[in-house]
A and B are shown apart, each in its own frame.
Chain A
């Protein structure tokens, strides 16, 4: 039927249009706040979850053990469990730490969907002040797959502080112009060839998304592009002194709002019948990236897609399921001190956990393991 060239072109267009269609919006999307229906008849299971997640060892402000500030569970579009602790409540925003990386990746997706970014673009298409420099070899895809190849040392306060690339970015000589701090690092490998977890990569992703979206959406494009449509009204995106978003670390939202971000992914990038993320974006986010498969260091067992962490195994690298007690399709945005947005498509489940685990962070596997019996 599509043999004729003109008809073929129409077929391609029709297929493209079909791929873009979202299911019509339905009652499972929160209109404002989440509909709430607390689980019933699961006292023992809830008690086990709370013993795991909320029992504090080492004192309220201790640095050992788990210190959960909130757990929010969304099941089939309904808030079925929610608990806060340590002075936090539903209206307190919480620091995302590296959960921001998954959000920054999605912001790139929004820009792709709007046709203002291509994953194959050099970052210098959007960060024009760096045009002509060696860093222009980095593509937008590299920034959302931890594949820039920059020689970046992801060390924190308990690591080697004077060789940490992160601490000067946050608190020291790199904080005023974070792009400059990042892009003056040398390459450890050619872009797209080496997987290395990096706050720098996500910062670049957010910077590209902001620059690309600003001409059509104004100086604060993330709100009309993503946060307003999905009802993340209280979200805060901190920036450096030059207005570059701290997209690797410093988004703030309430746990219920973070759950909306997870729910956008659960719903394939659509919200109330409107496509926000490109068709197939969520699937790619939850699939090990090519640079992980080919370029992760030997022994790396934490597969990632578009800056989401994946539970599924990666047989070609001999990587087993990361969270064996969770369904294999589980994927998660994960941040320092135990911040989590966990998406389990096969269970129609989103779990948000905020916390302050300074030494040993919460284990995603164990949290899912304790939440599932509450729902079943």
Chain B
């Protein structure tokens, strides 16, 4: 049921073009939400060196659907939504911070 709703959201998003603008992108809100959660969470924790509580608040975006998991040992952050959508970011090194995989 949740997946069906999410797919409907995706389809609606893909078709929406209220201003007749020429270009839309294939990224649904869910894709963007998990990408945001993973990458921003990784940078917050491992580049800005803030704590998890701060970073969880910092990455909140609309729609607030991403569940963010911090793996401090492996310096990776995963964000997921509705089972089927997930993204992972990993810390690279001291100069280059995090990258979304």
* Chain A residues within CB distance 8 Å of chain B: 61, 86-88, 91-95, 151, 153, 157-158, 160-165, 167-168, 170-176, 185-186, 220, 223, 235-241, 250, 252, 356
Contacts and interface: CB of A to CB of B under 8 A. Distances in A.
Contacts of A94: 48
Interface of B: 13-14, 16-19, 21-29, 31-32, 34-36, 39, 43, 47-51, 54, 57-58, 61-62, 87, 92, 94-101
B97 A238 contact: yes
A221 to B, nearest CB: 11
30 contacts: A61-B57, A93-B49, A95-B48, A153-B21, A157-B61, A160-B19, A161-B13, A161-B32, A162-B24, A162-B27, A162-B28, A163-B23, A163-B24, A165-B25, A167-B25, A171-B35, A171-B36, A172-B32, A173-B27, A174-B25, A175-B100, A220-B95, A236-B47, A236-B95, A236-B96, A236-B97, A237-B97, A239-B96, A239-B99, A250-B97
Given A61-B57, A238-B99, A87 B50 contact: yes
A223 B22 CA distance: 40
A10 to B, nearest CB: 44
Contacts of A241: 99-101
Contact of B100 (A163, A171, A236): A171
Nearest to B28: A162
B57 A185 contact: no
Contacts of B97: 236-238, 250, 252
A93 to B, nearest CB: 5
Please list the 3 inter-chain residue pairs (A to B) with the smallest Cβ-Cβ separation, ordered nearest first. Answer: A171-B35, A172-B27, A61-B57
Contacts of A173: 25-27, 31
B25 A162 contact: yes
A185 B100 CA distance: 22
A236 to B, nearest CB: 4
A157 B62 CA distance: 7
Contacts of B98: 238
B27 A93 contact: no
Contacts of A176: 100
Contact of A236 (B35, B50, B94): B94
